[in-house]
Structure 1
């Protein structure tokens, strides 16, 4: 890449970009061989703090293998994969699953998030309670790193504990599902987890619309999403965490640990029980566990309510809400997750749309930039991997078949490399039907089922469809 000389056109473009309140500075570059320009933006630290901090995280090399995901117009997070970030946002921010049945947070709350994943609940708690102090527990290193980045991104007071939480200190075997990390845990059961995920895929997409082919595809998709890695992780207890962080009260204890919930409760000492005001937890109702957990909580002085998400009707997952009768009741209806949240400025997709609109209005006829990049310093050369080069797909029979199927679902205008399956409204049922139609025309191995959830753009998926029909470059792999 080379930077444009200070021509009138590039100068006018930069001047227009600087008019946007979220832009502190900008520069324009063009490829050496010509082509669409790249705009480098310095976000305004005051008016676009979310994007400015994002750029600072990347500049410091702290994003690592994580990616930026933007599930809402005011939320940007570092995550492992897009589909899980969208799922967690919908469950926690949209469905408000943890703040029901009178559960609420006072300002300056002390919250312990056990099973934090990428920290989506942690961020929700920080928004609901100005000045909240949050202890987030996550044993998987890549997820714990995401919690730390997201806390920094949203200026939340979060201490990350990179351990599992259980009945006693020590170590344990842990199953990590990289493509479906929310189901990872110390008590993973491949068959049971496949049934749970299959039930969610079908029920979540609308059971009434699922036919036998959908169910068969759900089995295959669940198996692919539950590809397994085995880890050895450290274990601590809630009592140890409370002692290490000098907690004299816990306003809300959230537990989501995939079948280890009773072990977490066993790690609470009598004195710590008295300091806990509210508990929200997911319980896997296996062998009477829901009744056992309910008895434990009621014995400790909590009033307990439980309910099941309709989308989890074919699973054993139940949400339990426990409050002490003396806990202050919330005034009026529960406050929305953004009630006390200062304006973080735009997320990247919104800023880019606004800038493109601004340029089109102010500089009609001027070529549109190819893409926008964030930086904190225009004087620092950007590190651009080859992967950011424009995707040029071959016009082959296989790509044409995929294009026709994609267009029949999302419309002809969605047949472009950057079109994202989830942005277009795709869900699990649509994914299963897309795969089924592909396999009808191109064969069973045309596309790994989980790729839609891990890659998701038309360009990446079309390239995979094409590659699956090419001769192998090495020795044939036995099946």
Structure 2
């Protein structure tokens, strides 16, 4: 009698599924015994539109709202918004994920650049708990921090919106009219310029603009990025990703002059909303980054046109000569291959507990 015969079948299936979730590029896996007795592992890759259609993987990731999680997945995995403007991920990259939310970008880094080390910052307790679970379940090299980054050490009140957590922010940076307009314009732009087959998703998003947003007030800690750099001993930051709902300039102000040379690339969302305190912010941010020696690019994503959201990318001249291999760049993602997954799995589990076949699927 083999070990596999002695173990309960579901225990074997679960062990294989947990191992497969740690394979770079795998979003979800299910293992079942077929009628013919074979043990088959079905694997769903991250970087396909099929994940968007698979509510199972979205539910596993989400705090509450599947429409929001679908938006995050498509922006990060499909549209690769943080890898535009010449941004790349090299072997053994050090990444600061500022405004990590549920960890979608950290998951993306783990899928595309498995050797990377990620420091993820999320101040809202309920969202932070989901971030920790999402990265831990996939065995990623991610160190989560339960605070945000700013220009000084302080505790501030955040408004956390359970129905749409990506809009949660400091109470003094709330701009509700803009948030509602953002939802309406996003839906309008997505219907005009986005991929087909998304009407149900867009209708769900559109409905958010016509309801009263419930929020939870919570006290959250903020720290200076330079203090964190000193504490973790980061000798280089290959990519500083910032998405913090109107507080992006505060994050930059928390970098000491002595630490700017450590930062090689910056990918950030910048709010520049007419008639608000953020008006002119893109020019302000671009000038600061240029003054620190970066080559700067500003882009507008079509689905966010006229919403006051801009993507700013900054790369330090000379970074292209870094000897480490470029692992991830926009458009260079390698598809997950069943054979490679099976070979990798054979290095993780005893032979008697391996599936008979690994199959790639578009949904589970």
Query: Which of 203, 222, 230 is matched with 2:209 structurally?
Result: 222
Could you give the per-residue CA deviations for residues 423-444 of structure 1, whole angstroms, max 9, x where no partner exists? 9xxxxxxxxxxxxxxxxxxxxx
With a CA cutoff of 8 Å and minimum separation of 6, indicate the structure with the bigger relative contact order: 2
Query: Which of 178, 189, 202 is matched with 1:203 structurally?
Result: 189
Give 1:50 shift: 5.2
Structure 1 pair 201–226 and aligned structure 2 pair: CA distance change class (3 A): farther
CA contact (8 A) 2:226 2:259 kept: yes
SS, match of residue 249 in structure 1 = coil
After superposition, residues 231-246 of structure 1 pair within 5 angstroms as 231-246=218-233
Q: Give the number of equivalent residue pairs.
A: 299
> In the alignment, does 2:297 pair up with 1:305?
yes
Structure 1 pair 152–216 and aligned structure 2 pair: CA distance change class (3 A): closer
What do you get for the CA RMSD once the two structures are aligned?
3.9
SS, match of residue 206 in structure 1 = helix
The equivalent of 1:128 in structure 2 is: 112
Distance of 1:308 and 1:314 partners within structure 2: 9
The equivalent of 1:260 in structure 2 is: 247
SS, match of residue 87 in structure 1 = helix
Distance of 1:269 and 1:333 partners within structure 2: 29
> In the alignment, does 2:315 pair up with 1:323?
yes
Give 1:337 shift: 4.5
Query: Which of 306, 319, 327 is matched with 1:314 structurally?
Result: 306
CA contact (8 A) 1:139 1:163 kept: yes
SS, match of residue 119 in structure 2 = strand
After superposition, residues 269-284 of structure 1 pair within 5 angstroms as 269-284=256-271
Structure 1 pair 219–50 and aligned structure 2 pair: CA distance change class (3 A): closer
CA contact (8 A) 1:43 1:49 kept: no
Structure 1 pair 294–340 and aligned structure 2 pair: CA distance change class (3 A): farther
CA contact (8 A) 1:127 1:339 kept: no
Q: TM-score, normalised by structure 2?
A: 0.71
After superposition, residues 384-399 of structure 1 pair within 5 angstroms as none
Distance of 1:46 and 1:236 partners within structure 2: 35
Q: TM-score, normalised by structure 1?
A: 0.55
The equivalent of 1:190 in structure 2 is: 176
> In the alignment, does 2:279 pair up with 1:293?
no
The equivalent of 1:443 in structure 2 is: none
Larger radius of gyration: 1
CA contact (8 A) 1:237 1:264 kept: yes
Give 1:184 shift: 1.1
Structure 1 pair 91–54 and aligned structure 2 pair: CA distance change class (3 A): closer
After superposition, residues 58-69 of structure 1 pair within 5 angstroms as none
The equivalent of 2:16 in structure 1 is: 44
Structure 1 pair 145–207 and aligned structure 2 pair: CA distance change class (3 A): same
Question: Gaps (5+ residues) in structure 1?
Answer: 1-17, 28-38, 56-68, 210-214, 346-350, 356-422, 424-479
CA contact (8 A) 2:120 2:145 kept: yes
